[in-house]
């Protein structure tokens, strides 16, 4: 039974204890008063346990992100000089309210590429499902501290893939053809926008 349910039962038991106490005092029965006080104390303890031990109260629930995905993706201004934005367009991500994809490159022969997709979902649970569905098995992963949860696929050094989730938003980043690039720095830029 969850602690919130314990608190609700405690509240109801406290109310019942108060009502029984009032009835016992009105009838002037000593045993009824003692029984009513016992019910009242047990109810109060359960109410307190429910209030103190409840993992999430409504005020602690994370707020849903309502921004459009196009406002959250990387922009050419986030890069050093020499980077070119090749495309910026809506993306298709199943279940997303909005999704947007951008593509940047630097250089001409075997250019370094950064791709970024952001999707905003209706709920945190749906975003969690999408995030977990992206997590590969049996490959080398790191877990940078970005967003609520994050993984970085480092199986191929020159093609890094980072995915993170913050609330109801999932972010994908690919750094390609750059063995020494820092994809985490781009992730932190986006994290700052969410």
Each residue of 136-184: pLDDT tens digit?
988 889 999 999 999 999 888 789 999 999 999 999 999 998 888 889 9
What span, in angstroms and rounded, lies between the C-alpha atoms of 15 and 108?
75
What tens digit of pLDDT does each residue of 53-98 get? 555 445 456 789 999 999 999 999 999 999 999 999 999 999 999 9
CA distances from 26 to 13, 20, 21 (A): 20, 10, 8
Instruction: Map out the domains of the chain as residue ranges.
Output: 3-60, 69-193
Q: What is the pLDDT of residues 91-110, one digit of tens each?
A: 999 999 999 999 999 988 88
- Structure tokens belonging to residue 6: 């314990």
Q: Which of 185, 192, 173, 169 is nearest to 68 (CA)?
A: 169
Total-model pTM? 0.69
User: Residue 20 — very low, low, confident or very high, per pLDDT cuts 50/70/90?
Assistant: low
For 69-193, CATH number out of 3.40.50.2000, 3.40.50.740, 3.40.50.1700, 3.40.1000.70 equals 3.40.1000.70
H or E element, residue 126: helix 124-134
| pLDDT at res. 126 | 97
Dihedral angle at the C-alpha atoms of 2, 8, 12, 18, nearest 10 degrees? 110
């Amino acid at each position: 039974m969850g602690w919130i349910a314990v608190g609700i039962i405690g509240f109801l038991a406290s109310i019942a204890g108060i009502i029984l106490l009032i009835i016992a005092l009105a009838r002037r029965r000593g045993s009824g008063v003692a029984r009513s006080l016992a019910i009242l104390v047990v109810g109060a303890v359960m109410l307190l346990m429910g209030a103190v031990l409840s993992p999430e109260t409504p005020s602690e629930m994370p707020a849903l992100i309502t921004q459009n995905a196009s406002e959250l993706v990387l922009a050419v201004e986030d890069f050093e000089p020499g980077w070119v934005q090749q495309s910026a367009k809506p993306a298709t991500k199943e279940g997303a309210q909005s999704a947007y994809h951008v593509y940047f490159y630097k250089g001409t022969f075997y250019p370094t590429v950064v791709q970024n997709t952001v999707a905003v979902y209706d709920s945190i649970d749906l975003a969690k499902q999408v995030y977990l569905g992206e997590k590969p098995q049996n490959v080398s992963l790191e877990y940078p501290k970005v967003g609520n949860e994050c993984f970085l696929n480092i199986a191929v050094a020159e093609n890094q893939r980072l995915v993170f989730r913050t609330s109801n938003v999932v972010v994908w980043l690919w750094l390609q053809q750059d063995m020494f690039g820092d994809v985490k720095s781009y992730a932190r830029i986006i994290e700052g926008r969410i």
